[in-house]
Amino acid sequence: MSNLSREKSWIKEVRNSLNIVNPTTELQKWNKNSIYRVPACIKDLNSKAYKPQLVSFGPFHHREPQLMPMEEHKHRALLHFLKRTKQPLEHFVAAVEEVVVQLQESYQNLDERWIKDRDGFVQLMIVDGCFMLEIMCKSTNISFHFETTGHRSSADDYVHNDPIFSAHGMLYTVPYIKRDMLMIENQLPLLVLERLIATAGMSKKSIHLQLSIKVFFFIYFTMQTDENINRLVLKFLAPNLIARPFIGLSLHPLDLYRKTLLIGPQDSLPDYKPDPNSSEIIRSAMELYEAGIRFKQSRTTSLHDIHFKHGVLRLPVIVVDDLTEYMFLNLMAFERLHVGAGNDVTSYVFFMDNIIDSAKDVSLLTTKGIIQNAVGSDKAVAKLFNSLSKDVVLEPDSNLDKVQRMVNVYCQKQWNMWRANLLHTYFRSPWAFLSLAAAIFLLVMTVMQTVYTVLQYYEGNSSPSAPPAAPSPQ
């Protein structure tokens, strides 16, 4: 085919495609996606942070060599689940097939083989979903009530030396499963869990949560199935976070975890127009402290709960551990790729990166109880936050941007600038402080000596004249 013929063919193809352009269709298409592959421009900065290392959920990393050993345990979990629920596998297959298109559309740019192999995709969703349910129930001591049989059952039918579902497995394996469940490319739609629970005959209004606070006791939830699933996933991923009700079923575990970090009202702050002569880069925590700003804990753990008022900057308490880097990077990637998700976690990370420049800043925030360092050295925590915000894009006029402007306005007041300069110049080291103290001491002594000399002079001039001396005898 000649170049001219090829060009005419392309023109004809584009002309025919014009009829397909429909904003409504495009809107529906992009709204269906919620699980994404991380682009190379993001992944190249830290490829390990987006790749599961122990278990795969969903099609993106299925059957990768390093994850294959867990497939055996997945199928074993499926057998335990089926035996306990006393429901035939065909019922679960039929339930998932009802929503298979919706599940496939959740994955952006899903490989063609998963679209053609509908049965294989359904099998993948069921096996991964049952394994996720089993590992979460076993780890959190949650048991379900079955309407079909009338009994309550929990994932306690595994042998004591099970490599995954034993006390040993919970200690050494579950932390890695939690980490892999927060990978953006390794998500499973929570709709799969809803289908499995509904088909198993688990009561929509009776899920018993067993907690350990000195003794074991049960709490009865009269909530809908989707809310129970949200609580189950959150109890597994973040047992220390307060579980509050959400409206509707979350998209996947990462989406639910993000919503929980941001739960709580966000105060609207007054607009602060930037001063063209001032810098918009916030100072480090130590510099802010020297300028008279005090740091205190926020009343909640919500990342929205950051306020500045009357010289006090309130920040939520954050636990920094081995999971922190993976968690924040995947949350930030989700906000970057999922239209409408917002920019709240990214803004928080960028704000923290600004006020943390060195180990001294981490030490200050740790002293104030804002950072709970489970990593080790303060230097490692500073390096972690400094590496998180590479190539970060922020929304203009965000709430944290306003807080930053308020802090800058406070620091630019004349007295605060003098105070900061004084502390920065003379109180950075003990030698500088001793030099300042010696200079002040010499100045005071000099002033006192001068005053003493002047007083002596005036006292000498103001004294009465001495009487005339008596004449000497002749």
Residues in the chain, pLDDT under 50: 151, 203-223, 474
The domain boundary residue, chosen from 394, 412, 430:
412
Q: Is residue 1 part of a domain?
A: no
The count of structural domains within the chain is: 2
The verdict on 297 and 405 lying in the same domain is yes
In a domain, 461, yes or no: no
Residues 182 and 302 placed together within one structural domain of the fold: no
Domain end position, chosen among 176, 201, 226: 201
Residue 435 confidence (pLDDT) = 66
Going by C-beta distance under 8 Å and a sequence separation of 6 or more, which residues neighbour residue 144? 137, 152, 153, 154, 197, 200, 202, 203, 207, 208
One domain, residues 303 and 187:
no
In a domain, 246, yes or no: no
- Output the pLDDT for position 398: 76
Which pLDDT score is estimated for 471?
57
Same domain membership, residue 172 and residue 51: yes
Q: Identify the pLDDT of residue 254.
A: 97
User: Does residue 272 lie within any of the structural domains?
Assistant: no
Q: Is residue 314 part of a domain?
A: yes
Report CA-CA distances (Å) from 229 to 214, 236, 255, 279, 359: 26, 11, 13, 47, 40
Domain containing 69: what range?
28-201
Q: What pLDDT was estimated at residue 205?
A: 40
Residue 351 belongs to some domain of the structure: yes
197/320 same-domain check: no
pTM: 0.80
Residue 445 included in any domain: no
Among 140, 171, 201, the domain boundary falls at 201
pLDDT score for 145: 59
Q: Within this chain, do residues 183 and 298 fall inside the same structural domain, yes or no?
A: no
Please tell me the predicted confidence (pLDDT) of residue 107.
97
What pLDDT was estimated at residue 399?
Answer: 81
Are 185 and 62 part of one and the same domain? yes
- The arrangement of strands across the sheet holding 312-315 comes to 294-297, 312-315, 307-309
DSSP class of residue 63? T
Residue 264 lies in a domain: no
User: What pLDDT is stored for residue 223 in this prediction?
Assistant: 43
